[in-house]
A and B are shown apart, each in its own frame.
Chain A
Amino acid sequence: MDSREEILAALRRAAPPDPGLPSEPVRGTPYADLALQLAEAVRAVGGAFQRVPDAAALREGVAALAARLEARRVVSRVPEAGAGTAGAAEVADPHQLEGVDLAVIPGRFAVAENGAVWVAGEDLGHRAVFVIAQHLALVVPAAEIVNDLHEAYARIRFDGPGFGLFVAGPSKTADIEQALVIGAHGARSCTVFLVG
């Protein structure tokens, strides 16, 4: 018997009676003002939050952010937010993204309870772009805010590139004496632009 068969047989022999799988959906507590709660949650996880009325204001906001960060190399995966630096995104190997100062990434939706933004693999080009960039901007339409993770998972599918993640604020660590330090390995800052 190979290992696979042996493990499965051992698990079947040891299996307790099945209490059944709860099927009714879990419900969270709805927020009165989703955008307000989202803004609060994004700040609570160390991110910055900026609401902009339209694409023009988004472009301005992203340009101002890039200027403030003194970003020379900017990758934009959001055409409405500006084109980014010429050629920055069109690299063959993700290692060539080292040195990107700011990545502007579309978020499919944001989660009000925890400030997380769902980023779909098909929107990224190279998967590494959101984590290798020194700073991150996430662009989310104002209509796309869900209450909590229960609502979030009702929307998530893994077709296409089969990759996606929640990003909640900048990279962080508290491994040295529980002191919070922003910018562990990934983005040193994370700005959520809510558009509309």
Chain B
Amino acid sequence: MTGHAERAARFAADEPRAHWHDQALWFVRLKRDRMAAAVPEWEALRERAAAVKAHARARLADYLEQFEREATRRGLRVHWARDADEHNAIVHRILSERGVTRVVKSKSMLTEECHLNPYLAARGIEVVDTDLGERIVQLAGEPPSHIVLPAIHKKKEEIGELFHRTLGTAAGASDPTYLTQAARAHLREKFLAAQAGLTGVNFAIAETGGIVVCTNEGNADMGTHLPPLHVACMGVEKIVPRLADLSVFLRLLARSATGQPVTTYTTHFHAPRPGGELHVVIVDNGRSRLLAEEGFRGALACIRCGACMNTCPVFRRSGGYSYAWTIPGPIGSVLAPGRDPVAHGSLPFASSLCGSCDAVCPVKIPLHDQLLARRREVVRAGGQPLAKRLAMRVGGWVLRHRALYEVAGRLARLALRRLPRALLYGRWNAWGRQRELPAAPAESFRDAWRRTRGDGRG
């Protein structure tokens, strides 16, 4: 079975590109650091955000009911979907009942998770992704490789070539400003022709029954203020109790995501536009199951800023596609095995457990604890490759038998000193592939202790 390590190896094989990817994300991480350092109450904001999310999790059903009540009072129409299929069917029904065939969509990881685009396309509805990065990967026929920077894996020359082929830009042109302006003109036509706008939801407010959508490009606004129909899709976990709670999350979100003090457009929808309709589809799709998992429910606090990806030494060097899951990086590696511990069993191991993700997470999800806990689950579920399972079994056996352990230690020290390099660093030794084995000490700690009786004068 192909796991993260194999897919990462393919990405890393192109060394200059892997290095460039690493640097591009590190650049975003540094911007985030500067922003966080400029807010004296940063840690208090994180504490508060985590506390609000922990409370909201405990009362999710109540808050969703309150949201529905308030939203309905304001003229929004609320729908409920147990899973991806139901979500897709609801969105399709809303669109098809109104004869909609042309839709513009702003970024929504939920609709990616539900595979809404192909579902609608198969039913004769054109969905155009309007976030520039998402449009790039859509034109290339690829999924996003990062939740905030969907086309971070692509070089400008590749985007130039793609736009030349699909949008008719000048051959060989790769200037980001030129390419962005070409996309602006192309997408403006799509915005003006769209009959409906789809968006995700960054926050839904129980107290006021409204939703908030954040973008830098203005694509959610272009997509929703022109056509008469707006459909917004949200996971159940997007609820915050009060309007005032937004101040905490919005101060954290953009600073953590891209190193900006706030997104350019932070749009609050509390009513459909005059003469229009605003539908909100609330989706479970496994979230209530995650809520029931004591060790992992904290992951529901995620506000999808992507900071854990930008800082992760493994993500930066392996690329979003190596995770083979809608949400990559540390948070994705916690979420995906919850769906299927065997299919996504390699993801919790795609981490050095350095804890950098915990340190940058604006809502203080204990990611590296959760990654470690997921490893245990994957092992229990039999999601480990045979070689690793055998090695662990033999290792456990040796460690349980003192005499065996001593002999093994002696043999290992001898082997490290005497065996030819070709044999020591053979194909069987995954550890030695990228690093040197340790120099063998002359004696073990146990031998040294016996010789000196622990008086330290050895």
- Which A residues are closer than 8 A to B by beta carbons? 2-4, 6-22, 25-29, 41, 44-45, 94-95, 98, 111, 113-116, 126-128, 130-132, 148-150, 152-154, 156, 158, 161-179, 181, 183-187
Check B51 against A19 for contact (C-beta < 8 Å).
Answer: yes
Question: In whole Å, how far is B250's beta carbon from the nearest beta carbon of chain A?
Answer: 6
| Bound Cα distance A73, B313 (Å) | 50
Residues of B contacting A150 in the complex (Cβ-Cβ under 8 angstroms): 244, 247-248
Q: Does B192 contact A (CB under 8 A)?
A: yes
| Bound Cα distance A165, B289 (Å) | 34
Residues of A contacting B130 in the complex (Cβ-Cβ under 8 angstroms): 185
Residues of A contacting B219 in the complex (Cβ-Cβ under 8 angstroms): 184-185
Question: In whole Å, how far is A155's beta carbon from the nearest beta carbon of chain B?
Answer: 11
- 61-106 of chain B: CB within 8 A of chain A: 61, 64-65, 74-75, 80-82, 86
Check A165 against B268 for contact (C-beta < 8 Å).
Answer: yes
**Residue from the set A4, A7, A22, A152 with the largest chain B CB neighbour count within 10 Å:** A7
Q: Which of B86, B262, B282 touches A116 (beta carbons < 8 Å)?
A: B262
- 239-282 of chain B: CB within 8 A of chain A: 241, 243-244, 246-248, 250-251, 258, 260-271, 273-274, 282
| Bound Cα distance A111, B251 (Å) | 12
Interface code B129-169, partner A: CB below 8 Å = 1, 0 otherwise?
01111001000000000000111100110010000000000
- Which B residues are closer than 8 A to A by beta carbons? 24, 27-28, 39-41, 44-45, 48, 51-52, 54-55, 57-61, 64-65, 74-75, 80-82, 86, 130-133, 136, 149-152, 155-156, 159, 176-177, 179-181, 184, 187-188, 191-192, 208, 210, 216-219, 221-222, 225-226, 236, 241, 243-244, 246-248, 250-251, 258, 260-271, 273-274, 282, 284, 288-289, 291-292, 294, 297
| Bound Cα distance A18, B53 (Å) | 11
- Contact sample, A vs B, 7 pairs, CB 8 Å cutoff: A2-B80, A11-B284, A11-B291, A13-B288, A149-B246, A163-B273, A184-B216
Instruction: Tally the A-B contacts, defined by beta carbons under 8 Å.
Output: 249
Question: In whole Å, how far is B241's beta carbon from the nearest beta carbon of chain A?
Answer: 6
Question: In whole Å, how far is B141's beta carbon from the nearest beta carbon of chain A?
Answer: 17
| Bound Cα distance A177, B20 (Å) | 10
Question: In whole Å, how far is A159's beta carbon from the nearest beta carbon of chain B?
Answer: 9
| Bound Cα distance A27, B184 (Å) | 39
Residues of B contacting A149 in the complex (Cβ-Cβ under 8 angstroms): 246-247, 250-251, 262
Check B222 against A132 for contact (C-beta < 8 Å).
Answer: yes
Given contacts A7-B284, A15-B58, A149-B251, contact A21 B52 (CB under 8 A): yes
Residues of B contacting A41 in the complex (Cβ-Cβ under 8 angstroms): 261
Given A3-B81, A45-B261, 19 additional A-B pairs, CB 8 A: A4-B80, A10-B284, A14-B289, A14-B291, A17-B58, A26-B48, A152-B247, A161-B271, A166-B265, A168-B265, A173-B132, A175-B132, A176-B132, A176-B159, A177-B176, A178-B28, A181-B176, A184-B217, A185-B184
Check A22 against B52 for contact (C-beta < 8 Å).
Answer: yes
Question: In whole Å, how far is A133's beta carbon from the nearest beta carbon of chain B?
Answer: 11
A-B pairs, top 9 by smallest CB distance, nearest first, are: A162-B271, A186-B218, A162-B270, A175-B133, A184-B217, A114-B261, A14-B292, A128-B225, A10-B288
Chain A: CB-nearest residue to B28: A178
Question: In whole Å, how far is A36's beta carbon from the nearest beta carbon of chain B?
Answer: 16
Question: In whole Å, how far is B125's beta carbon from the nearest beta carbon of chain A?
Answer: 20
| Bound Cα distance A29, B43 (Å) | 13
Check B28 against A16 for contact (C-beta < 8 Å).
Answer: no
Check A19 against B58 for contact (C-beta < 8 Å).
Answer: yes
Check A126 against B82 for contact (C-beta < 8 Å).
Answer: no
| Bound Cα distance A21, B54 (Å) | 9
Residues of B contacting A21 in the complex (Cβ-Cβ under 8 angstroms): 51-52, 55, 241
Residues of A contacting B55 in the complex (Cβ-Cβ under 8 angstroms): 18-22
| Bound Cα distance A2, B177 (Å) | 50
Chain B: CB-nearest residue to A41: B261
Question: In whole Å, how far is A147's beta carbon from the nearest beta carbon of chain B?
Answer: 11
Residues of A contacting B86 in the complex (Cβ-Cβ under 8 angstroms): 3
Given contacts A113-B261, A165-B268, A181-B176, contact A158 B210 (CB under 8 A): yes
| Bound Cα distance A185, B185 (Å) | 9
Residues of A contacting B271 in the complex (Cβ-Cβ under 8 angstroms): 158, 161-163
Q: Which of A4, A113, A158, A185 touches B191 (beta carbons < 8 Å)?
A: A185
Check B210 against A169 for contact (C-beta < 8 Å).
Answer: no
Check B241 against A169 for contact (C-beta < 8 Å).
Answer: no
Q: Which of B27, B150, B241 touches A175 (beta carbons < 8 Å)?
A: B150
Chain A: CB-nearest residue to B160: A176
Check B251 against A186 for contact (C-beta < 8 Å).
Answer: no
Q: Which of A20, A158, A170 touches B270 (beta carbons < 8 Å)?
A: A158
Q: Which of B132, B226, B268 touches A158 (beta carbons < 8 Å)?
A: B268
| Bound Cα distance A111, B263 (Å) | 13
Given contacts A26-B41, A176-B180, contact A185 B187 (CB under 8 A): yes
| Bound Cα distance A164, B225 (Å) | 12
Given contacts A131-B221, A162-B270, contact A184 B247 (CB under 8 A): no
| Bound Cα distance A68, B401 (Å) | 84
Given contacts A11-B291, A161-B271, contact A173 B216 (CB under 8 A): yes
Residues of A contacting B222 in the complex (Cβ-Cβ under 8 angstroms): 128, 131-132, 185-186
Given contacts A26-B247, A170-B264, contact A16 B226 (CB under 8 A): no
| Bound Cα distance A18, B291 (Å) | 13
Residues of B contacting A25 in the complex (Cβ-Cβ under 8 angstroms): 244
Q: Which of A44, A45, A148, A186 touches B221 (beta carbons < 8 Å)?
A: A186
Check B225 against A184 for contact (C-beta < 8 Å).
Answer: no
